[in-house]
Amino acid sequence: MRYSTMFIPTTRHEPAGVQAISHGLLVRAGYMQQLIAGAYSLLPLAQMVRRKIMDIIRSEMSQIGAQEFFLSALQPIELWDESGRTTAVSDVMFRLKDRKGSDLALGLTHEEVFTSIARTNLTSYKQLPQIWYQMQTKFRDELRPKGGLLRVREFTMKDSYSFDVDEAGLDRSFQLHRDAYKRIFARCGLDAICVDASSGAMGGAGSIEFMIFSDSGEDLIVTCTECEYAANIEKAASKAEIPSATTSTSEFEKFHTPNVRTIKQLEEFGEGFPAHSQIKTLVFVADGRIVLALVQGDQELNESKLQSALGVSLLRQATEVEIIDTLQASPGSLGACGVESGEGFKVATIIADKRLQGRTNMVTGANENDFHVKGVSIERDMKVNKFADLHKVRETDNCVRCASAIKISNALEIGHIFKLGTRYSSTMNAQILHADGSRNPILMGSYGIGVERLMAAIVEQHNDEFGIRWPVSVAPFRVIIVPVNWQNEEIRSASERLYAELISAGIDTLLDDRDERAGVKFNDADLIGIPMRVTVGKKAGQGIFEFKLRSEKSAKELSSEQLLVEVGNLTS
Ligand SMILES: [Zn+2]
């Protein structure tokens, strides 16, 4: 292509509200422009990159036997009602009515639609396994779109779905995707790591996220400094010393604590009660029922872990009115001693962090304002229904596998794979006949990559102060030819000859045929991030060109024959 005929609106102006490097660079380098919050117009250079990324994804999906579909973005709401997800996703789902008044949704994912195709067409074990995928537009009404392409309301997703007869089959489909994703990210020039993740609103038996370390990322991941352990903080476990009980063991006793409302105030009250000897009582509403969640006083509760442990789809903190109605006391004086739970009681479940199991001589609220109880023994004085890992991992904790030090870092999710199991096939009745004559729900997995987010992630990992540095595999052009003076006949004809040679060798090349100063052209070439630059200058008449990699400072002189070899060899 010729620069003069292309639409590349580079600008020096940083867009407003930039929080991610990729956002600023993709706008300044003329790849995209914002239409509305969370929706971007992708311009020609971006579409070239997007197509290369999609080609890489297609080739790797094809390697694992996946078949490409293209489903409707318009979905009937009834399918979401059937899977039971309508409420769980109501915040982010774009809904509309057609002219006849039918309820429709713009797809935010396609588990329901693919499951509906499976249940009417896959009836026998002989038809499995199957892996189906598509690359299609998804819509999510995000509360706060931001970070350019990192969090948007409309985006392309590669979503695939596996259908298997049994757990072993699902394990195999999951492993195939895990390996394919590793290859996809490596081919896109990304240094990705796999982390254990929480399944969230997707449900199912387990999931793995693919992450890159990035300050623009909104996720926090816990990694071990010694072993391979890596997990999203929503899921991460850790080891920590359980503090030994305070030396003086007190009797179970209610005591007056005027104006003591916080862990800290109680630490400093009277004889002093260390935070690790206190029990923090939090009140939640989980699928409409009141839940008391208990953690050690110096720990934070992790809501994702609580949601997984309870197995509920909707979880929120209780309002003060709900709390007073349940426990007859205000936050700051709450506790679980003597609270009954289960059918017929206001509290459905009392769940406590594992670190509280078996603990004695603890302090907690008395469910009476300005009173606490001490000498509490968890097992004796509380009817805890379930102990689970509920606390947030802290950097001072140790690795759950090898007890070494851990690190908590910002990371950006670039892919997520789920073992759905029978989560959708059960509720939507997608069953198959087995060899032994029994009928059972199909085992499913679902697997996603956001295409434009991947483009932004590549920019996050490949840039410098001058602009983007695309890896060759996804760059819009492999080479840019920069004639230093387009008015010079010798330079112009040498540039045209070289351009023709590169094109006929099948190399994506951009010829900067603009009548601009060399400095302007160099700056634009760096900003838009073409991996290789060939400068055509004074030695053009002798057939000598200056060759420079975007990633390196120094240039070297090459003949056109040498150039062709060099350009062809460079693959990353
Ligand atoms: Zn470790």
Position 383 pLDDT exceeds 70: yes
Q: Residue 449 forms beta bridges with which residues?
A: 158
* Span 37-57, average pLDDT: 98
How far apart are alpha carbons 482 and 561 in whole angstroms? Answer: 18
Strand stretches in 451-554, DSSP E = 463-464, 467-468, 479-483, 509-511, 532-536, 544-549
169 and 36 in one domain? yes
Write out pLDDT tens, residues 371-380: 999 999 999 9
197 and 66 in one domain? yes
Q: What is the distance in A from the centroid of ligand 1 to the CA of 232?
A: 15
For residue 93, what is the DSSP state? -
361 and 294 in one domain? yes
167 and 22 in one domain? yes
For residue 175, what is the DSSP state? H
What are phi and psi for residue 376, nearest 5 degrees? Answer: -80, 130
Q: CATH number for the domain including 267?
A: 3.90.960.10
How far apart are alpha carbons 9 and 572 in whole angstroms? Answer: 27
259 and 229 in one domain? no
Write out pLDDT tens, residues 537-566: 999 989 999 999 999 999 999 998 999 999
378 and 513 in one domain? no
Between the two ends of the chain, the Cα-to-Cα distance in Å is 22
Structural domain contains residue 341: yes
366 and 492 in one domain? no
Q: What is the distance in A from the centroid of ligand 1 to the CA of 189?
A: 27
The answer to whether 436 touches 125, Cβ cutoff 8 Å, is: no
Confidence (pLDDT) at 88: 87
The position carrying tokens 């206001």 is: 346
How far apart are alpha carbons 266 and 284 in whole angstroms? Answer: 23
Q: What is the distance in A from the centroid of ligand 1 to the CA of 230?
A: 9
Structural domain contains residue 148: yes
Domain count, the chain: 3
153 and 27 in one domain? yes
Residues spanned by the domain of 295: 253-388
How far apart are alpha carbons 277 and 197 in whole angstroms? Answer: 30
Structural domain contains residue 284: yes
Q: What is the distance in A from the centroid of ligand 1 to the CA of 222?
A: 10
- Edge-first strand order for the sheet with 94-97 is 74-76, 103-106, 94-97
Confidence (pLDDT) at 101: 96
Q: What is the mean pLDDT of the chain?
A: 93
Structural domain contains residue 93: no
Q: What is the distance in A from the centroid of ligand 1 to the CA of 228?
A: 6
| Residues in Cβ contact with 307 at an 8 Å cutoff, skipping those fewer than 6 apart | 198, 200, 286, 315
Q: Residue 97 forms beta bridges with which residues?
A: 103
Structural domain contains residue 465: no
Structural domain contains residue 273: yes
172 and 136 in one domain? yes
Of 460, 490, 521, which closes a domain? 460
Structural domain contains residue 123: yes
**Ion ligand 1 residue ranges (Cβ < 5 Å):** 224, 226-227, 229, 399, 401-402, 404
Q: What is the distance in A from the centroid of ligand 1 to the CA of 236?
A: 12
Confidence (pLDDT) at 474: 98
Q: Is the overall model pTM greater than 0.85, yes or no?
A: yes
Q: What is the distance in A from the centroid of ligand 1 to the CA of 389?
A: 18
Q: What is the distance in A from the centroid of ligand 1 to the CA of 406?
A: 7
* Span 182-202, average pLDDT: 88
218 and 122 in one domain? yes
* Span 53-73, average pLDDT: 98
**pLDDT band at residue 248 under the 50/70/90 scheme:** low
Specify the range with the lowest mean pLDDT, choosing from 119-133, 208-222, 247-261, 363-377.
247-261
Q: Residue 278 forms beta bridges with which residues?
A: 363
Q: What is the distance in A from the centroid of ligand 1 to the CA of 227?
A: 4
| Residues in Cβ contact with 177 at an 8 Å cutoff, skipping those fewer than 6 apart | 64, 160, 162, 417, 445, 447
Confidence (pLDDT) at 279: 96
Structural domain contains residue 395: no
